[in-house]
Structure 1
């Protein structure tokens, strides 16, 4: 293919330490971090997945879904106009059909929502709070075309296929939690080492599958909540990894979980380049590990029932 190049641009990825289910506090922290990114010259500012709430199995989250034209989109528009930048992030969005979706919105410097991507499949206990989407995740701006991917969408070959060689930049984020430190700790510690590696590698290597740079926002900090259908409690942390990656898969900027909340900024050259790697002929691009694989199936079954009882048809928060 012939490479399509777009003038280089300074981009920023936000790393948020959320207060679980506290929309107003999280919005204030997002605003502060976005202002910091703009002060560093960023003209693209990406907030993490679930930037209004964080994510865990916590009943408080059930009341936090916002309407499309609510506090979350208002913040994106306000920041975009204030800093003459493109600003995007995802949140639990209550649509007019009564269903909630994990919606990534991108606002333009003119204060217009240019496009939306709904995450295709909820992950684990996320099934309690929203249903999946079916769009291609491609958003057109005056200067380039971008693709959106959220968390475990970076793990699936279908995501790479929908944006490969079709976009000039990938924007999105994650809310990826750790493997809890249960007994035997020698085993769960090994699983967590693999989990943390996958959280970072799935984003870094995604650029090599699609041929475009990636701007990936994230969460950090501790998280504690009940576990679905189990007497145990989950105690862990968000894996973090706000990062910016070029089309070759080289990490230009990264913030790990020990760095805490903050901003990473780098200059990228958007464009459509020949991908370095072919997309594997398999559903999952990376091994999920035994506990995440089990949780994917078990919590999906629980979540769909919980959603039908607690979320479907409710009014927005």
Structure 2
């Protein structure tokens, strides 16, 4: 990598996606990519799970896509038409398992993939972890992909630190479950969670040493929460997705921001591509921030409950490609 850095206009997109409504979500994302391009963006980041929000809802078991799919087609079309780099993640089924796959598409149609390493909590019900390092060799230079809680783990920093010209990140970051009892406690948890989400992109960029695009969700979603691992016992929940769509420079400084209260839209700023000297010291721990006892408990409890649900869904045939995808493939075969 040369010391000379190219300045480009970049955009991170905040969506208000819906649970299991893949056609609507793709069209919603498409319109927002066009909005970013209209503001001059040459690099555009969509969030994690831009094709469906994730909550325990059995419709999500049938919301994965094959490697060639309408979401990827949309990204390819935008990349080629507007001569941009554009990326985001969705559930992708390959060889009988589902992955949280971040794809980055170049203007010439080249596709790079990264599978999130560890599902977060209830996400374990819908996909398994990947094994690649998230390092993509592109025409922009080396790009690092990291999805949601990958950005709060030191193992991600170790894979990418000092090696990338740009970080493409996105999240689908829950808040508290919306229960009416102990409201003051949940309000405090919501506020603390918001502070953690707000500082994560800048902290991660400073640790890795690269400019960063972080795309987020701003929807309020309703569904269920798994209660007891190995069972389908659930409680109803309603949660706010925490947004914090940000553009960050290579030193970890905030350049543009969109909070969840602002809804869907774009955050746009000029960034200088290229690796920077990491500004922050990496903690000698698994997590970058200190997680409180409730988040730590939820991590272990919901991981176990989600993994059991994934095994059940796979065993019973519920884990499958989106019905609309299969219908389209059947129509093609009839032609």
Q: What displacement does 1:191 show? A: 1.6
The equivalent residue for 2:122 is 125
- Answer with 190-199 or 97-106: which moved more: 190-199
| 2:211 paired residue among 203, 210, 213 | 213
* Aligned structure 1 segments of 4 or more residues deviating by more than 2 angstroms: 2-6, 180-183, 229-232, 287-292, 311-315
The equivalent residue for 2:153 is 156
The equivalent residue for 1:309 is 312
- Which TM-score applies when normalising by structure 1? 0.95
Matches within 5 A, 1:1-317: 4-95=3-94, 97-113=95-111, 115-182=112-179, 183-229=181-227, 230-311=233-314, 314-317=319-322
- Asked whether the 8 Å contact 2:30–2:74 carries over to 1, the reply is yes
Q: What displacement does 1:242 show? A: 0.8
Q: What displacement does 1:231 show? A: 4.7
Q: Give, in whole Å, the separation in 2 of the partners of 1:9 and 1:251.
A: 16
- Give 3-state SS (helix, strand or coil) of 2:176's partner: coil
Q: Give, in whole Å, the separation in 2 of the partners of 1:149 and 1:213.
A: 13
Q: Give, in whole Å, the separation in 1 of the partners of 2:125 and 2:154.
A: 24
Q: Give, in whole Å, the separation in 2 of the partners of 1:291 and 1:59.
A: 26
Q: Give, in whole Å, the separation in 2 of the partners of 1:140 and 1:284.
A: 27
- Give 3-state SS (helix, strand or coil) of 1:111's partner: coil
Deviations 1:53-102 (A, max 9, x none): 0111111111110001111211111111111100111000001x111000
- Give 3-state SS (helix, strand or coil) of 1:280's partner: coil
- Answer with 188-197 or 222-231: which moved more: 222-231
Q: Give, in whole Å, the separation in 2 of the partners of 1:71 and 1:301.
A: 32
Q: What displacement does 1:308 show? A: 1.2
Q: What displacement does 1:291 show? A: 2.6
Name the larger-Rg structure.
2
- Give 3-state SS (helix, strand or coil) of 2:226's partner: coil
- Asked whether the 8 Å contact 2:18–2:219 carries over to 1, the reply is no
Root mean square deviation, CA, Å: 1.5
- Asked whether the 8 Å contact 2:51–2:90 carries over to 1, the reply is yes
- Which TM-score applies when normalising by structure 2? 0.90
Q: 1:306 to 1:181 in 2, by over 3 A?
A: closer
- Asked whether the 8 Å contact 2:63–2:320 carries over to 1, the reply is no
Q: Give, in whole Å, the separation in 1 of the partners of 2:110 and 2:276.
A: 29
